Structure 1
């Protein structure tokens, strides 16, 4: 075996070793669902259901709804597919993190849902998910104000809103200005009412 052949074999062995390292480090076994890391915009959502400081949101007892406004009428909808965690610190709720499958939008109107999914609104073909992760929870004038990074249509912005925290539940009802997220459709109010209730 000449020197050139030995060199090629050595390079091949190194490349295989690097490949195995990457596979084990970044692509866990398909059966291991205990830790899921997803990067959406500037926020890393860690859907780790083994962390004692996180409570998995139970979709059967939780909801995520919205109401859009136009001159003609208002439209109410929900998202059927979402996942996330309630975040704890010293056994106290301090935030939430979650990911929503935007194509799961459901207004009960097939035509409207189809329109919301296209690039006038959600553009689900390009941006299939929206996410939120709390960065702080403060009290202002007797209200708890949650602040975090909202990523929608590939744009990440810090938003804040009042929340109610009771036992193991976080809920909110507020107006969200969607202007920074650059939806194209001009026939609706840029403010959308968001209402959610998350519990375990």
Structure 2
């Protein structure tokens, strides 16, 4: 991994993502005029900070845990029309670089979804470190990116009679992450 930055507030070591205080969410256009939002309920990950302060990220998402708060839609999303979770039950992200961008950062990494790996950039805001509540320090991060579902083999076409499609191609991924320093 190449990196040109260090986040001095983050102590060297492994920071584990606390999934009970984090969200991996998404949104996609529906019927051209609105958005459907959802999230993955099960995921794990680490932020590893080297002795020189350089961070790296590795995460795994359990795609079978997808929820849009609509059981019928969630069931359809798990089929071969979309995520094909029996064949591709996980998505992964492994960072390859972290670069400053103004007061924020860009985390570049290899994202694998539906058996396809592509390099993506996450716009990252580092929210700092807090002493925590007796279990050691916690760090907060917010990250976003937009991907094209077709780039990852999610190519279902559901055209509308008047133009457009039931499901848009652009997917916005939004991560709200809290991580604790492993002891």
1:95 Cα shift? Answer: 3.2
Stretches of structure 1 lacking an aligned partner (at least 5 in a row): 1-51
Please tell me whether the aligned partners of residues 78 and 107 of structure 1 are also in contact (alpha carbons under 8 angstroms). yes
Distance 1:111 1:174 in 2: 27
Match of 2:101 in 1: 140
The alignment partner of 2:64 has SS state of: helix
The alignment partner of 2:168 has SS state of: coil
Match of 1:57 in 2: 17
Distance 2:36 2:54 in 1: 32
Match of 1:177 in 2: 148
Task: Indicate whether 1:161 and 2:122 are aligned.
Answer: yes
Q: Highest Rg: 1 or 2?
A: 1
Please tell me whether the aligned partners of residues 62 and 197 of structure 1 are also in contact (alpha carbons under 8 angstroms). yes
Q: Which has the higher strand share?
A: 2
Task: Indicate whether 1:127 and 2:106 are aligned.
Answer: no
Equivalent residue for 1:195, pick from 162, 174, 183: 174
Please tell me whether the aligned partners of residues 57 and 94 of structure 2 are also in contact (alpha carbons under 8 angstroms). yes
Match of 2:38 in 1: 77
1:193 Cα shift? Answer: 1.0
1:119 Cα shift? Answer: 1.2
Please tell me whether the aligned partners of residues 121 and 145 of structure 2 are also in contact (alpha carbons under 8 angstroms). no
Q: Which has the higher helix share?
A: 1
Equivalent residue for 1:101, pick from 62, 66, 83: 62
Task: Indicate whether 1:151 and 2:112 are aligned.
Answer: yes
Distance 2:21 2:53 in 1: 20
Please tell me whether the aligned partners of residues 79 and 101 of structure 1 are also in contact (alpha carbons under 8 angstroms). yes
CA RMSD of aligned residues (A): 1.8
1:184 Cα shift? Answer: 2.4
1:91 Cα shift? Answer: 7.1
The alignment partner of 1:112 has SS state of: helix
Q: Which has the higher contact order (CA 8 A, sep 6+)?
A: 2
Distance 1:133 1:152 in 2: 12
Distance 1:96 1:138, change over 3 A: same
Give the count of matched residue pairs: 149
Distance 1:68 1:170, change over 3 A: same
